[in-house]
Amino acid sequence: MVKENEVSAASLEWRVNMPSGSSQILVPESRQTCRLLSLVMGFVSNITKFLDKAWNLAVNEPKKVIHCLKVGLALSIVSLFYYMRPLYDGVGGNAMWAVMTVVVVFEYTVGSTLYKCVNRAIGTCLAGSLGIGVHWVASQSGDRFEPIILQASVFLLAATATFSRFIPTIKARFDYGAMIFILTFSLVSVSGYRVDKLVELAHERVSTIAIGATICLFITMILCPVWAGTELHHLISTNLQKLADSLEGYAAENFRVDGSKNLDEKDSSKRLQGYRCVLNSKAAEESMANFARWEPAHGKFNFRHPWKQYLKIGASMRSCAYCIETLHGGINSNTETPEFLKKPLNDVCMRLGTSSSNVLKELSSMIKTLTNSTKLDILVDEMNSSVEGLQNALKTLPSYQHIPTPDPKTEEAPTGTEESILKPTALSLMEIVQMATLTSLLIEIASRIEGIVKEVNELASQAQFKDDSSKKSKQTQTKLNENDGNEHEVTMTTLQKV
């Protein structure tokens, strides 16, 4: 028997009494269909967004797509040791170690791949040798003491290797090798207790690991290599340019004179936010510098290139970026500096922002081209003279004297004249403090840029940057040769006419 249930404003439900006495609520099929369609459409929308992001990533950074293809190629080559019978018989059943080595070792840059390959080779060989030695000592001590010696060796060596990973110098360069040492020694010690041919087992595993590491190194260094040193070099140069754009954008935004042409909002926001890339690049710089030290000489960089100096430049840039971040906060603050205070300082502040930005751009060009700059000293002198001009302009501002408030003990209320003078005076003082803070930050940025200049000059000295004079002399010689050739052609033409 079907009975009508309560009718709500949201939906219409029917209750059916089953023979057993239980009841079941039936939802209209239209509602179920709508829910199913909404779930399907949401799933399709998420998949579409994911594919769009993946496509944009592939278009913007094609090196990552090439890296994926290189990993697939390496795994395809190493899997031949399973598919081809002669290769499988040569390495035995441990061919899977070669596949695992490729999966674990193959990284994006050449330096990171070399780092893992060398650490894995050192850790495997050292742990295998110690494992075989400990196994021989334990086997000579008898069946009673053999498991005790093996367990004690695993405990001591694993604890020692784990502690070494907390030492900064070892953690920076051999952290992965210490982990592989613990893994390999534990496997050799545990498996050696039940395996008779331990030396053959260790030899097969070392050979397969060597095969996998060799394939990784060959592919990552031959096919479209991505060098960690080059990436670090490009990152520092780009960050200097972004820092210069942020500083220049700030000067144009905050010290713009009334009636001047406004900047494009998107371009201005992009330039102002460039300093954040500098603040967020510390981890990437340290990682790239660590991997770059493992790489051989490549391109313009020698084997002993001073990669650590790039970290000092990055630290100096971040100290400057913090000041720019404070300036950016001043742009968005609720307190605005009135025009009658900004006008006397607009020109000198714009000049200081432009000269400071030019110094950063010149430093970026120096690092990018690995050449010494002949204009850097001139630009630094211009920046220092702009700082002096700003300091002199601050001294010429009119002084405002604040009238003290009445003593609460005497409770003497100020007269009408005093009250009318007191309020504008206090407001003027707050406005002066706001303007003085911004200008002092500009002066502090200039002093920190000098620190960046010092670190870049140190890099130029250690890396032996080339001089611009050699380039200019070559260009001048080329022009002179062209002029001589043109004069010779003109002379020959004149003689033929005569």
Per-residue pLDDT of the chain (498 residues; tens, 9 = 90+): 444 444 444 444 445 455 555 455 555 567 778 888 888 888 888 898 888 888 888 888 888 899 999 999 999 998 887 777 666 666 666 678 888 889 999 999 999 999 999 999 898 889 888 888 888 888 787 778 888 888 888 899 999 999 999 998 888 889 999 999 998 888 877 765 555 566 777 777 788 888 889 999 999 999 889 999 999 999 999 999 999 988 888 777 766 544 444 445 555 555 667 788 889 999 999 999 999 999 988 888 888 899 999 999 999 999 999 988 887 766 555 555 555 566 667 788 888 888 999 999 999 999 999 999 889 999 999 999 988 888 888 777 655 444 444 445 554 544 444 444 444 444 455 666 677 778 888 889 999 999 999 999 999 999 888 886 544 444 445 554 555 455 444 444 443 443
- DSSP letter string, 469-489: HHHHHHHHHHHHHHHHHHHHH
Residue indicated by tokens 């604040």: 402
- Residue 441 neighbours by CB distance under 10 Å: 16
Q: Which residues contact 51 (CB under 8 A, 6 or more apart)?
A: none
Spatial contact of 366 and 465, defined as CB atoms under 8 Å apart: yes
pTM of this prediction? 0.75
Task: Give the separation between CA 321 and CA 309, rounded to whole angstroms.
Answer: 18
- Characterize 285-311 residue by residue with b for buried, 16 or more Cβ atoms within 10 angstroms of its Cβ, and e for exposed: bebbbbbbbbbeebeebeeebbbebbb
Q: What pLDDT is stored for residue 422 in this prediction? A: 40
> Strands 371-372 and 466-467: what pairing?
parallel
**Residue ranges per structural domain of the chain:** 55-222, 228-258+266-398+429-468
**In angstroms, rounded to a whole number, what is the distance separating the alpha carbons of residues 141 and 19?**
80
pLDDT of the residue at 259 = 41
Listing DSSP states for 223-261 in one string gives SS---HHHHHHHHHHHHHHHHHHHHHHHHHHHSPPTTSP
Q: How many CB atoms lie within 10 A of CB 159?
A: 11
Q: What is the dihedral of CA 173, 177, 182, 184, to 10 degrees?
A: 180
- Domain 228-258+266-398+429-468 sits in CATH 2.115.10: no
User: Encoding tokens for residue 338?
Assistant: 């009135």
Report the distance separating Cα 353 and Cα 479, nearest Å: 37
Residue type, 222: I
Q: Give the model's pLDDT for residue 490.
A: 40
- Nearest-angstrom CA–CA distance, 187 and 122: 16
- pLDDT of amino acid 270: 57
* pLDDT at residue number 438: 81
pLDDT at 17: 53
* Residue-level pLDDT at 134: 84
CA atoms of 223 and 70, how far apart (whole Å): 8
Position 487, amino acid: E
Rounded to 5°, angle at Cα 482 from 479 and 488: 140
Query: What is residue 192's predicted lDDT score, i.e. its pLDDT?
Result: 59
Looking up tokens 């061919």 gives 95
